Structures are given as C-alpha cells and as structure tokens.
Amino acid sequence: MAGDMTTIARPYAEAAFERAREAGRLDVWSEALALLAAVTSEARLAEQIGNPTVPRELIRDLILEVCGDALPAEAANLLRLLALNSRLAAIPEIARLFEERRIADQGVRHILIRSAFEVEDDQRESLAQSLAKRFGGQVDLTIETDSALLGGIEIRTGDLVIDHSVRGKIKQLAHALQF
C-alpha cells in the first residue's frame, strides 16, 4: 500500500517542486507542504480523510480553515486539486517526496543503510566516501541496525535498493530454486 501511495503522490510532488523552483519559492512550498502533512496526519482528521462518507469539500474547507493565512495561495490550490481528485490521503507522502527532491536538488542525497551489526565510525566514513563517489555528490547517511538481515547491509536511496544482506541472498536463492 505504501508503494501505491508513493505512485499516487509522485506526480503531485514533482509538479509542486517544479513550480516552487520556477518561482524561486522552494522554502515556502516546503513549509506549506510540511504544514499540510502535519494537519492531515492528525489522527482524527486522517480517519475522516479515509472515510468515504465524509464529503471531500468539507475536509478541504476544514484543512484550509486550520491552516489559515499560513498556507500560500498556490499550496491552497494544490489542496483543492487533491480534494477534487480524492487524493487528500497522499499529502504526507507528497510532502516527503517534495523534501527528498528539494534536498537532492541541493546536491545532497539521503541514503538509508540497514546493517546486521553496528557500524563503526571509520566504516561509516568509508561508506559515505564510497557512496558519494558512486552517486556523484554529497550524501547524508542514516544507519539502522537490523538483526533480521543476518549479515551484510542493505542500501536504500530513492527508488534504488542495493541488497548485500545474507537475508537478501537467501531470498534470491529461494527464488532461483523456486521455493
């Protein structure tokens, strides 16, 4: 389901990013989308967004009222479009994708590394240098420990996944042997 939401949100995030960059208002859009994401992620409102019996216009108007003057006109128009297309649930993912794109545009690539074991500082630095060379720019590493990997690491950035974990190799072998 998360992948489906990303597929739905990506065109909106890309369009918002292009518009924000064109207007020289990346920071304004970033703040507006963060506000919309915070408002629509509130548990009670998120529940109503997911309720098909609640009119989208009612939810849209409530969000506009909560955001007030803190929401720029173009961001409010995006909200109206999302409500019209029954895509209000995609707002947090749109905000996330917009931020990813904004940071990537600045030349910094966010990379999640999952490791079966703790990564030492010297290993972290070596990984950062190797990944910076591979991706051609600055990298911002987030490292998580996940014993379920059994051994090795898994690297994720955007839509790219590099799986050098023992668990990943076992899955590949099982698939090849058709288990």
The verdict on 25 and 77 lying in the same domain is yes
The verdict on 22 and 93 lying in the same domain is yes
Among residues 49, 84, 103, the one where a domain terminates is 103
pLDDT tens by residue, 120-135: 999 999 999 998 888 7
For 177, other C-beta atoms within 10 Å of its C-beta total 7
Note if the pTM is more than 0.85.
Answer: no
For 29, other C-beta atoms within 10 Å of its C-beta total 22
φ, ψ of residue 116 in degrees (nearest 5):
-70, -25
The contacts of residue 17 (CB under 8 Å, 6+ apart) are 26, 29, 98, 101, 102, 105
Measured torsion, CA atoms of residues 80, 81, 83, 89, in degrees rounded to the nearest 10: -120
The verdict on 27 and 54 lying in the same domain is yes
pLDDT tens by residue, 138-168: 888 999 999 888 899 999 987 788 898 999 8
Structure tokens at 139: 């990298």
pLDDT band, very low/low/confident/very high, at 3 (cuts 50, 70, 90)? low
pLDDT of 1 over the 80 cut? no
- The CATH number linked to 22 is 1.10.520.20
Among residues 103, 119, 141, the one where a domain terminates is 103
The verdict on 17 and 96 lying in the same domain is yes
Q: Which of 8-17, 154-163, 165-174 has the highest mean pLDDT?
A: 8-17
> How many domains does the structure of the chain reveal?
2
How high does pLDDT run on average in the chain? 91
- What pLDDT is stored for residue 97 in this prediction? 94
Considering only CA atoms, which of 149, 151, 159, 157 is closest in space to residue 130?
157
Segment (H or E) for 53: none
The verdict on 113 and 97 lying in the same domain is no
The verdict on 162 and 79 lying in the same domain is no
Structure tokens at 147: 């014993």
The verdict on 159 and 75 lying in the same domain is no
Range of the domain at 148: 108-176
Among residues 85, 103, 121, the one where a domain terminates is 103
The verdict on 122 and 65 lying in the same domain is no
The verdict on 28 and 8 lying in the same domain is yes
Task: Provide mean pLDDT across the span 7-32.
Answer: 94
The verdict on 120 and 157 lying in the same domain is yes
